[in-house]
């Protein structure tokens, strides 16, 4: 059964500069929508850093207070920070003419900058402060949010929390999870296709032989909120043709035995929080990935891998096996994303008009996440601003 045509994305809504401009202002505009910026497990303590999810913003942390600031020097609008290195100094100094700012965004000064000692001088100085945006924190993650809709986003995250808790898990990457590595992959495709592939369990059995022998798509359960979808899959318990997935299944059993705990039946929870962050809670591995659009037909997928402390002690070689298994599946997903991008271009060249994406929602609804994402996009792109 196909989902209602009213919300399905049409081919001219992909790789389209006009649509992309609208997405920038509706979905990725700090202060308008709701989008992921950073995670406290990526860096701790006080300091500042370019946001993980949006290079146009800075994150600062000080005495437990997190701020999202425009990464834009008020002197001549150059980015203040162009890398992901944590700055532990109390001021952020622009490299171009040495203007500097405190972690709360307030302007400190710059060479030759003088202000009168009266009200007008103070106002002139204040006008140079960095713009600050409203944030929401959830499970160590920082989001930038429309200040008028904070209650709506909080309610949605609470719904996600209860969906996870009902299954005995939570999305917290607690103190015993450590960052193993991070990776950026560049794609030639519209960013929305990545979200589609993430919400599509239909392709897993035919296209991911390794993954489908690890997690059983017949056990798929969905949870939905206004701004998210989540999939839950149990272990498949079948022999895998992938040596890495076989090592993963074997290793986590050893790891559980080493820790003296029962291995849960849940193999993975895949959570997408729209527009662009995904949290994958596997037995033994956690992955946060953020899709950062770089143009109408290009994006970066930035993935962070976390493993539990003591993993190598209990199951030597498990970390490398999990990362290698994940990479096998990721390569297959790159093909899924880029073939669809090329197919959409061909459909447009052939003038196929409203050719859509015929989402399969019958049975367990293996592509229900795609339909949900399309409906969210359709609803959100047209909200008044």
Contacting positions for ligand FES (CB under 6 A): 73, 75-76, 78, 94, 96-97, 99, 110
Q: Nearer to ligand FES by C-beta: 93 or 182?
A: 93
Angstrom CA distances, 329 to 242, 294, 366, stand at 10, 24, 18
Contact 108, 100 (CB under 8 A): yes
**Least distance from ligand FES to the Cβ atom of residue 126, Å:** 17
Q: Nearer to ligand FES by C-beta: 29 or 97?
A: 97
**What residue 99 binds from Fe ion, ligand FES, none (CB within 5 to 8 A, per partner kind)?**
ligand FES
360 vs 225: CA distance, rounded Å? 20
59 vs 96: CA distance, rounded Å? 20
Residue 92: beta bridge partners? 101
- Span from 127-135, 149-157, 325-333, 361-369 in contact with Fe ion (CB under 5 A): 325-333
Q: Nearer to Fe ion by C-beta: 99 or 326?
A: 326
252 φ, ψ (degrees, to nearest 5): -70, -25
Under rule CB under 5 A, which residues in 222-251 are in contact with Fe ion?
none
Q: Nearer to ligand FES by C-beta: 108 or 381?
A: 108
**What residue 333 binds from ligand FES, Fe ion, none (CB within 5 to 8 A, per partner kind)?**
Fe ion
**Least distance from ligand FES to the Cβ atom of residue 254, Å:** 54
317 vs 362: CA distance, rounded Å? 40
304 vs 42: CA distance, rounded Å? 8
**Least distance from ligand FES to the Cβ atom of residue 122, Å:** 21
Q: Nearer to ligand FES by C-beta: 64 or 112?
A: 112
303 φ, ψ (degrees, to nearest 5): -115, 135
Q: Nearer to ligand FES by C-beta: 79 or 205?
A: 79
**Least distance from ligand FES to the Cβ atom of residue 91, Å:** 13
Of 40, 86, 20, 5, nearest to 293 (Cα)? 20
344 vs 367: CA distance, rounded Å? 19
**What residue 122 binds from Fe ion, ligand FES, none (CB within 5 to 8 A, per partner kind)?**
none
Sign (positive/negative) of CA torsion 250, 255, 258, 260? negative
- Span from 219-227, 258-266, 294-302, 330-338 in contact with Fe ion (CB under 5 A): 330-338
Residue 143: beta bridge partners? 36, 136
**Least distance from ligand FES to the Cβ atom of residue 114, Å:** 15
333 binds Fe ion (CB under 5 A): yes
12: which DSSP letter? Answer: G
Binding positions for Fe ion, rule: CB under 5 A: 333
């Amino acid at each position: 059964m196909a989902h209602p045509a009213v919300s399905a994305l049409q081919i001219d809504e992909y790789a389209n500069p006009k649509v992309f401009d609208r997405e920038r202002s509706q979905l990725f505009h700090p202060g308008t929508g709701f989008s992921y910026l950073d995670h406290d497990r990526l860096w701790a303590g006080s300091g500042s850093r370019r946001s993980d999810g949006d290079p146009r913003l800075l994150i600062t942390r000080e005495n437990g207070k997190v701020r999202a600031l425009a990464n834009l020097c008020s002197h001549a609008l150059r980015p203040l920070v162009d890398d992901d290195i944590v700055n532990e100094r109390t001021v952020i100094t622009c490299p171009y003419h040495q203007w500097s700012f405190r972690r709360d965004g307030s302007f400190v000064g710059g060479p030759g900058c003088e202000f009168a000692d009266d009200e007008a001088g103070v106002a002139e100085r204040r006008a140079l402060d960095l713009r600050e945006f409203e944030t929401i924190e959830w499970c160590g993650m920082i989001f930038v949010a429309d200040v008028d809709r904070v209650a709506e986003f909080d309610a949605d995250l609470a719904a996600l929390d209860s969906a996870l808790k009902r299954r005995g898990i939570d999305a917290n990457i607690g103190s015993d999870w450590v960052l193993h590595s991070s990776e950026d992959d560049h794609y030639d495709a519209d960013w929305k296709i990545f979200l589609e592939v993430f919400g599509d369990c239909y392709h897993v059995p035919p296209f991911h032989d390794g993954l489908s022998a690890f997690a059983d798509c017949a056990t798929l359960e969905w949870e939905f909120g206004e701004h998210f979808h989540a999939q839950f899959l149990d272990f498949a318990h079948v022999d895998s043709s992938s040596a890495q997935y076989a090592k993963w299944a074997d290793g986590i059993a050893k790891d559980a035995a080493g820790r003296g705990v029962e291995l849960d039946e849940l193999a993975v929870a895949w959570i997408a929080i729209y527009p662009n962050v995904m949290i994958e809670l596997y037995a033994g591995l956690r992955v946060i990935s953020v899709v950062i659009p770089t143009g109408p037909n290009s994006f970066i997928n930035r993935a962070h891998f976390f493993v539990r402390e003591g993993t190598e002690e209990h199951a030597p070689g498990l970390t490398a096996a999990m990362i290698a298994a994940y990479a096998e599946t990721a390569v297959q997903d790159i093909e899924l994303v880029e073939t669809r991008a090329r197919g959409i271009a061909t459909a447009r060249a052939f003038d196929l008009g409203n050719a859509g994406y015929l989402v399969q929602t019958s049975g367990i609804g293996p592509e229900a996440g795609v339909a949900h994402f399309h409906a969210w996009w359709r609803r959100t792109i047209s909200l008044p601003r």
